[in-house]
């Protein structure tokens, strides 16, 4: 059915009929999905209420094996995104990937200015300072880290301020 939807989506777009507000988003229009499912969309200005039957609910419930597969797929996609982030040359691409990951609970770790903690940071080097207030603080993040909710996926590699040798 997926190939039919893609084909149908391509067939229904006509250059002269494109609405300027319909910027490509990688999503399939609701009308195309409804047509594929054999449903009709409500007339504009009317409201619909979704009612799920018992068979609808039973058909959407998943078992433990499905949940495990979904979690494994999620982890694989997160790892693929981190791989792409490490190799991205465009700031816009990096920003978009980080924004997408943040949407599912994976946040970037840039601890600049925070106290160095070897339990959550990896020291990549040190920079000398004469200011005692800076000693032990993260001067710069060399490699961004990532955490999936509270679980660290990759510790950030940081440069730490250290006391200047006399």
pLDDT at 44: 57
Q: For the chain, state the CA radius of gyration.
A: 25
pLDDT at 11: 45
Q: What H or E segment, with its residue span, contains residue 105?
A: none
Query: What are the φ and ψ backbone dihedral angles of 137, each rounded to 5 degrees?
Result: -90, 155
1-37 pLDDT, tens digit per residue, is 444 444 444 444 444 554 555 545 544 555 555 565 5
- Give the predicted TM-score (pTM) of the model: 0.59
DSSP of 13-38 = --GGG--TT----S---HHHHHHHTT
Distance CA 155, CA 97 (A): 18
Does residue 110 contact residue 141 with C-beta atoms inside 8 Å?
yes
pLDDT mean across residues, the chain = 79
pLDDT at 109: 96
Question: What does each C-alpha distance from 110 to 124, 129, 139 come to in angstroms?
Answer: 14, 21, 11
């Amino acid at each position: 059915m997926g190939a039919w939807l893609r084909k149908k989506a391509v067939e229904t777009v006509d250059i002269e009929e494109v609405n300027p507000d319909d910027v490509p988003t990688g999503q399939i229009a609701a009308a195309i999905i409804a047509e594929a499912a054999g449903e009709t969309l409500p007339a504009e200005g009317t409201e619909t209420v979704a009612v799920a039957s018992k068979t609808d609910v039973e058909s959407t419930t998943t078992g433990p094996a499905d949940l495990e597969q979904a979690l494994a797929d999620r982890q694989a996609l997160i790892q693929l995104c981190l791989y792409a982030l490490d190799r991205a040359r465009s700031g816009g691409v990096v920003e978009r990937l980080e924004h997408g990951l943040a949407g599912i609970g994976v946040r970037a770790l840039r601890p600049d200015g925070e106290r160095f903690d070897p339990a959550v940071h990896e020291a990549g080097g040190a920079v000398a300072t004469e200011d005692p207030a800076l000693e032990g603080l993260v001067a710069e993040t060399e490699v961004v880290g990532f955490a999936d909710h509270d679980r660290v996926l990759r510790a950030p590699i940081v440069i730490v301020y250290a006391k200047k040798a006399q």
